[in-house]
Amino acid sequence: MDNGRWEEPITFETQRLGQYRTIVGAAEAARALMEDWPVETGDALARAKETCLAVLEGREPTAAAREAFLAAAAEAGVFVRP
């Protein structure tokens, strides 16, 4: 199974103010979306979870998980460092 490693990591603010986490691939993104996300529902969140799984199963390109993660972050109002 491919871990879906991204070329460019994403650093986002966790639910604890001022604490950041860096994600480098689809496996970490899936874990963050399931365990450390401020909301439990949302269309972009559901798509991001599905896309991460599809990347890990080799059904989608790695970049799809990164884009889906960013969309879920925007939907949830999660701050992503530029």
Give domain limits for the chain.
5-76
24-70 confidence digits (pLDDT tens)? 999 999 999 999 899 999 999 999 999 999 999 999 999 999 999 99
Q: How many CA atoms lie within 13 A of 50 on its CB side?
A: 7
In this model, does residue 3 exceed pLDDT 90?
Answer: no
pLDDT (0 to 100) of residue 4: 81
CA dist 48 and 45 (Å) reads 5
Q: How far apart are alpha carbons 26 and 58 in whole angstroms?
A: 11
pTM listed for this prediction: 0.93
Tokens representing 81?
């460092």
DSSP code, position 7: E
pLDDT digit string (tens) for 12-27? 999 888 899 999 999 9
CA distance 73 to 47: 12
